[in-house]
């Protein structure tokens, strides 16, 4: 998940589709985000590279829409409904996720276990 400045970022991503839930007068997704280009990346407990200023999932409310859709704590969100999330401020990310006229958000998330699974399957294939 580390990036080389100037080069395009490559990552193995999972597509997660979350239906917003109407609760308490708001449409909620059931998770919390942290990070952003205006935030201190060194305090992110989930990132591998402590200079990574991407948006990470910091908390998932159990039983909520995100939990049911399969989002995991520590996932890095790469795209939300086609909008890029790797170089946005914290507030911009929040706005993209909480648009009132959208009832479904399609996220592209990446996590370490995905990379490992792909590497393992590649390695296994090579041994065969």
Partner 1 sequence: MLQPTNMDHVMDYLIKQKCKDDNWGETTTAVTGTSEHSLSQEDIVRITKDLEDSVGLDCRRYFTLTLAVILGLLVFLTPLAFLVLPHLLWFDRLQPCGTACEGLFISVAFKLLILLLAVWALFFRAPRASLPRVYVFRALLAVLVLLFVLSYWLFYGMRILDSQDENYQGIVQYAVSLVDALLFIHYLAIVLLELRQLQPCFSVCVTRSTDGETRHYNLGQLSIQRAALAVLQHYYCDFPVHNPALLSASKSRAAKHLAGLKVYNVDAPAEGPGNNAAAAAAGLAHSQSRAMIAAAARRRDTSHNELYYEEAEHERRVRKRRARLVVAVEEAFTHIKRMQEEEQKKAPGDVMDPREAAQAIFPSMARALQKYLRTTKQQHCHSMESIQQHLAFCITNNMTPKAFLESYLSPGPTLQYGRDHWLARQWTLVSEASVTSGLKDGTVFLLKCVDFSLVVTSKTIPYIQMSEEYIDPKSHKFVLRLQSETSV
Residues at the site binding partner 1, with contacts judged by CB under 8 A: 28-29, 31-34, 38-40, 43, 58-59, 61, 90, 94, 97-98
Contacts of 68 (CB under 8 A, 6+ apart): none
Task: Give the span between the Cα atoms of 113 and 102, in whole angstroms.
Answer: 30
Which of 34, 54 has the CB closer to partner 1?
Answer: 34
Block residue for tokens 């992110």? 44
Bridge partner list, 28: 21
Which of 34, 110 has the CB closer to partner 1?
Answer: 34
**Least distance CB 51 / partner 1 (angstroms):** 13
Which of 44, 110 has the CB closer to partner 1?
Answer: 44
């Amino acid at each position: 998940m580390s990036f080389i400045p100037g080069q395009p970022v490559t990552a193995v991503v999972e597509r997660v589709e979350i239906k917003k839930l109407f609760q308490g007068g708001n449409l909620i997704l059931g998770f919390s985000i942290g990070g952003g280009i205006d935030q201190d990346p060194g305090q992110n407990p989930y990132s591998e590279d402590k200079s990574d200023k991407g948006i990470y999932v910091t908390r998932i409310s159990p039983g909520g829409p995100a939990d049911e859709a399969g989002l995991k704590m520590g996932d890095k969100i790469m795209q939300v409904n086609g909008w890029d999330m790797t170089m946005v401020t914290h507030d911009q990310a929040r706005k993209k996720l909480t648009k009132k006229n959208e009832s479904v958000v399609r996220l592209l998330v990446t996590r370490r276990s995905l990379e490992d699974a792909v590497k393992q399957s590649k390695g296994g294939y090579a041994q065969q």
